[in-house]
Amino acid sequence: MEVESVADLVARYEQACGSSIPQAAYDFIAGGSGEEISQQEAVGAWRNFRLRPHVLRNVEDVDTSTTALGTPLRAPVIAAPIAYHSVAHSDGEIETARGVSAAGSLMIVPTRASTPLADIARALGGPWWFQVYFVRDRELTRRIVADAVELGATALVLTGDTPYVGQKRRGQLPPIAPEHYLVNFGKYMQPDAEFMYATSQDPTVILDAVQWLRDVSGLPVIVKGLLRGDDAAACVEAGAAGVIVSNHGGRQLDRAVPAVSALAEVVAAVGDRGEVFVDGGVRSGIDVLIALSLGARAVMLGRPVLWALGAEGAPGVERVLRGLRDELSHAMALAGVNRTANIDRSLVR
Ligand SMILES: Cc1cc2nc3c(=O)[nH]c(=O)nc-3n(C[C@H](O)[C@H](O)[C@H](O)COP(=O)(O)O)c2cc1C
């Protein structure tokens, strides 16, 4: 029997989205900033690493489970924050949440969600994290964080790489109906011109935002979107519980280095002061094994989740997440490690 790899499954879902969702929605998901150089090299960057497997280890019982900031995970794979899931599916984030929950994974719910946070939280039915964009109106930022806390978010992800939204030659604007646009801010303000300014990105945000978020939420905060050891060290010194190494799927500064190539430097800089995560171009269980070998706690998946959502809804999302777990389990067995805690730097070259 032939087994379809997750990479092939995701490619098939992406192709299906090419005809099942509007072109503008496809472009919004697929697109990268600038000439799309960072976007295009992300998948390939993982493939430059080579493994040094162990042999003759008992690997009958492989366990892919781990924890992320204390949250138990069946596998070290998390759904990255993505704005406006309604571009891919009429139920938007709620449908994604069903798939993530069925797979026993963790979802990072975005500030720019296109469905109400309460409905997403209900569909998840378990722990979830909330991604924070600081908008120009600080009080609106505080309110949406307070809503997330009240609805059961257990950690905050502060995206640090988006003082302005990166310029893209395709898919710059999400093609969604007005009723979905910033629905979670809309309950506090009318969607007029003032609202558009108040909810735009705040480019003045600096490191003290970490402590501010901790103070207003009482939750651990991790910073997403950095690519340097010195920035990572500064984040944990400012009170972050960890960082996500990421170039935002090639959607912010074009020609930023691939996240995986910055991972070892960030892991070394953070040391035992926080947990390190990585995203961008992860498409196979072997990518996950490499990420863990380089010191990541877990990986995050962006576009694969939305392609699955657009092509098959929640069952598709579940299939991608479960597929990565199965591939990781198989790769761990062939690398001679049966626990995620036993994956170390010596496995990768
Ligand atoms: C359509 C789209 C929207 C995104 N929106 C957000 C967002 O609102 N906040 C954020 O922190 N990252 C956002 N990201 C970046 C993802 O969280 C993640 O870093 C990236 O998609 C990982 O790369 P991958 O798509 O190759 O898996 C978005 C990515 C895509 C593709």
- Dist. CA 338 → ligand 1 center (Å): 31
Secondary structure class of 128 (helix, strand, coil): strand
- Calculate the alpha carbon distances from 117 to 6, 93, 112, 113, 244 in Å: 29, 9, 10, 8, 23
| Closest C-alpha to 109, from 128, 135, 126, 87 | 128
Residue 2 pLDDT level (bands cut at 50, 70, 90):
confident
Query: In the annotation, is 330 catalytic?
Result: no
For 103-133, write each residue's pLDDT tens digit: 999 999 999 999 999 999 999 999 999 999 9
Residue range 48-63: average pLDDT?
97
- Is any ligand 1 atom within 6 A of the Cβ of residue 281? yes
pLDDT at 179: 72
How far is residue 109's CA from residue 106's CA, in Å, rounded to a whole number?
9
Q: Indicate whether residue 252 lines ligand 1 (CB < 6 A).
A: no
> Residue whose CA is closest, atom 28 of ligand 1?
82
Q: What is the mean pLDDT of residues 183-202?
A: 86
**52 within 8 A of 346, measured Cβ to Cβ:** yes
Which of 85, 180, 248, 330 is the catalytic position? 248
Tell me the pLDDT tens digit for each residue of 7-42: 999 999 999 999 999 999 999 999 999 999 999 999
Contact residues for 88 (Cβ-Cβ < 8 A; gap 6+):
17, 21, 25, 29, 306, 307, 309, 310
Which residue matches tokens 């109106």? 137
The Cα–Cα gap between 287 and 291 comes to: 6
Atom number of ligand 1 nearest to Cα 161: 11
- Whose alpha carbon is nearest atom 1 of ligand 1? 29
d(CA 11, CA 90): 22
Other beta carbons within 10 Å of 293: 22
Q: CA gyration radius for the chain?
A: 19
Average pLDDT score, the chain: 96
User: Averaged over 215-226, what is the pLDDT?
Assistant: 98
Residue 191 has pLDDT above 80, yes or no: no
pLDDT value of position 98: 98
Cβ burial, residue 47 (10 Å; 0-12/13-18/19+): middle
Q: Which of 82, 184, 277 to mutate to test the pocket of ligand 1 (most atoms within 8 A of CB)?
A: 82
Q: What atom of ligand 1 comes closest to residue 39's alpha carbon?
A: 26
For residue 51, what pLDDT is reported?
Answer: 98
Cβ of 81 closer than 6 Å to ligand 1, yes or no, is: yes
- 57 Cα–ligand 1 center, Å: 38
Ligand 1 centre from 82 Cα, in Å? 5
Name the residue at shortest CA distance from atom 14 of ligand 1. Answer: 82
Q: How far is the CA of 6 from the centre of ligand 1 (A)?
A: 19
- In tens, the pLDDT along 139-162 reads 999 999 999 999 999 999 999 999
Inter-residue contact 343 to 52 (CB < 8 Å):
no
Mean pLDDT of 232-249: 98
In contact, 279 and 38? CB cutoff 8 Å: no
pLDDT band of residue 186 (cuts 50, 70, 90) is: confident
Q: Please give the Cα distance from 56 to 224 (Å, whole number).
A: 39
What's residue 180's pLDDT?
A: 80
By most ligand atoms within 8 Å of CB, the mutation choice from 251, 301, 317 for ligand 1 is 251
| pTM of the complete model | 0.97
Q: How far, in Å, is the centroid of ligand 1 from the Cα of 280?
A: 8
Helix axes 117-124, 138-150, angle to 10 degrees: 30
What is the band of 102 on the pLDDT scale with cuts at 50, 70, 90? very high
Classify 154 as helix, strand or coil.
Answer: strand
Phi/psi-derived region of residue 102, left when phi > 0, alpha when psi is between -120 and 50, beta in every other case: alpha
Question: Who wins on pLDDT, 44 or 186?
Answer: 44
